[in-house]
């Protein structure tokens, strides 16, 4: 059973997922993935299929997709992604207001994403948000990627938190919920239309919000 918005307690730190949580850059991911699939002789995906399937980091997912040719496919993917990802980046509704609210209230902010760390930091910089986050952790930065708790440990390494500190993990996928629970964070689900029922049952979110705008409105009511 999900807790009500009134049960939200002000956090000491918030970890955000990136894609489909704060921003939309699925266009670039979809194009680059299909370039790799086509050149490697695979059937291309629809954008809906890309959104549903592309949750793991590329370095974890590509060996399953391309077997012994994963390194070659990964190189093709990143070459294509480099060409498109900064120009197709879109900020989702309420993201900027939510970030600014947390900063105003002295909340430690971090990003933990399964997007390659180099590309992730370029996108954050493109939006002028680099100084908003005390840590930005992407795929390959920690010893393991989400859903492992290792990237969360890295993100919070210098946060100065203790056992009583409240840490939210805000994301849009079952992978984010799993990572939040395994990391002892409060799981906050944004949207979640593609989250499987089994993930919701195994890794139940504390609260679900349609968008960052809705979460921002709820945060303004936290005492």
Predicted confidence (pLDDT) per residue in 109-160, tens digit: 999 999 999 999 999 999 999 999 999 999 999 999 999 999 999 999 999 9
State pLDDT tens for residues 53-88: 776 778 788 998 899 999 999 899 889 988 888 998
CATH topology of domain 5-24+91-219: Rossmann fold (3.40.50)
Q: Token pair for residue 54?
A: 């592309």
Its pTM stands at 0.86
The whole-number pLDDT of residue 7 equals: 75
Q: How many residues are there in the chain? A: 223
Higher pLDDT, 116 or 193: 116
Beta bridge partners of 135: 110
- Of the candidates 184, 188, 182, 218, which has an alpha carbon nearest to the alpha carbon of residue 205? 188
Half-sphere exposure of 66 (CA within 13 A, CB side): 23
Give the Å distances, CA to CA, from 146 to 3, 80, 129, 221: 25, 24, 22, 31
pLDDT at 4 over 50: no
């Amino acid at each position: 059973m999900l807790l009500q918005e009134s049960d939200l307690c002000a956090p000491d730190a918030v970890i955000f997922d990136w894609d489909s949580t704060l921003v939309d850059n699925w266009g670039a991911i979809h194009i680059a993935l299909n370039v790799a699939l086509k050149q490697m002789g695979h059937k291309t995906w629809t954008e809906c299929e890309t959104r549903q399937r592309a949750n793991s980091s590329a370095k974890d997912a590509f060996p399953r997709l391309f077997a012994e040719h994963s390194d070659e496919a990964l190189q093709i993917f990143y070459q294509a992604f480099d060409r498109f990802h900064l120009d197709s980046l879109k900020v989702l509704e309420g993201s900027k207001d939510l970030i600014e609210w947390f900063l105003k209230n002295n909340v430690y902010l971090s990003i933990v994403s399964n997007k390659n760390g180099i590309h992730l930091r370029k996108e954050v910089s493109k939006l002028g948000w680099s100084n908003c986050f005390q840590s930005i952790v992407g795929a390959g930065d920690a010893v393991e990627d989400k859903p492992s708790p290792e990237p969360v440990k890295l993100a919070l390494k210098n946060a100065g938190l203790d056992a009583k500190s409240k840490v939210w993990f805000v994301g849009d996928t079952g992978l984010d919920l799993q990572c939040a629970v395994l990391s002892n964070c409060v799981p906050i689900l944004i949207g979640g239309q593609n989250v499987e029922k089994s993930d919701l049952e195994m890794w139940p979110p504390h609260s679900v919000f349609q968008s960052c705008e809705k979460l921002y409105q709820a945060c303004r009511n936290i005492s």
